[in-house]
Structure 1
Amino acid sequence: MPQTKSHIKNYKIILRNRSRNKKYKLAIKKAIKQYISSTKNLANHNDNLGKCQFELSLVYKTIDKAVKRKILHKNTASRKKSRLAKVLKKTD
């Protein structure tokens, strides 16, 4: 545990920021899960391509928001988006 006053204050800030970052990361994970499930439905021909593209745009939106808030690095975001687009291309 922190000893000095300044570190105690800093620790509170760290905890606050961690909870904020977690909120954005969980939103990304949820969006990715929905997108993956929609692509699996597309592979089974139960779903249309438009819904998958809509889900992909939602994932892009959440990832870009996290980059804007400096929660993810831009290269990490780019890599994630590229891999997700590749998933849709394989199911076609």
Structure 2
Amino acid sequence: MANIKSAKKRISVIRQKTLRNKMIKSQVKTAIKKVTTAVAAGDAAAAKEALRAATSTIDKAKSKGVFHKNNASRKVSRLSKLVNTIA
């Protein structure tokens, strides 16, 4: 256990950042799941709307530093490719 004040603060700050990152990653996973379920159901309109929302969520996560830009780009690309299969 940390005894120094600054070390205690770092532990607290890291805990808060970890919770924030987990929340954002969970939102991204949910958005991706909505796209995949819409594609599986064969609903092109719902899939396109879900893709738009997922892209926005992924871009927000990228801008906050949760995902690397290439990782975010790869996720968006894969989802777009998936939606285009039913369009």
Give me the TM-score of the superposition, normalised by structure 1: 0.87
Q: Name 1:17's counterpart in structure 2.
A: 17
Q: Name 2:5's counterpart in structure 1.
A: 5
Distance 1:32 1:21 in 2: 17
Report matched runs for 1:1-92 at 5 Å: 1-42=1-42, 47=43, 49-92=44-87
Structure 2: any 5+ residue segments left out of the alignment? Answer: none
Distance 2:22 2:51 in 1: 21
Structure 1: any 5+ residue segments left out of the alignment? Answer: none
Q: CA shift at 1:91, angstroms?
A: 3.2
Q: How many residues align?
A: 87
Q: Deviations over 1:10-47 (max 9, x none)?
A: 010000001111111000001111110000001xxxx2
Root-mean-square deviation over aligned CA pairs: 1.2
Give me the TM-score of the superposition, normalised by structure 2: 0.91
Distance 2:2 2:40 in 1: 48
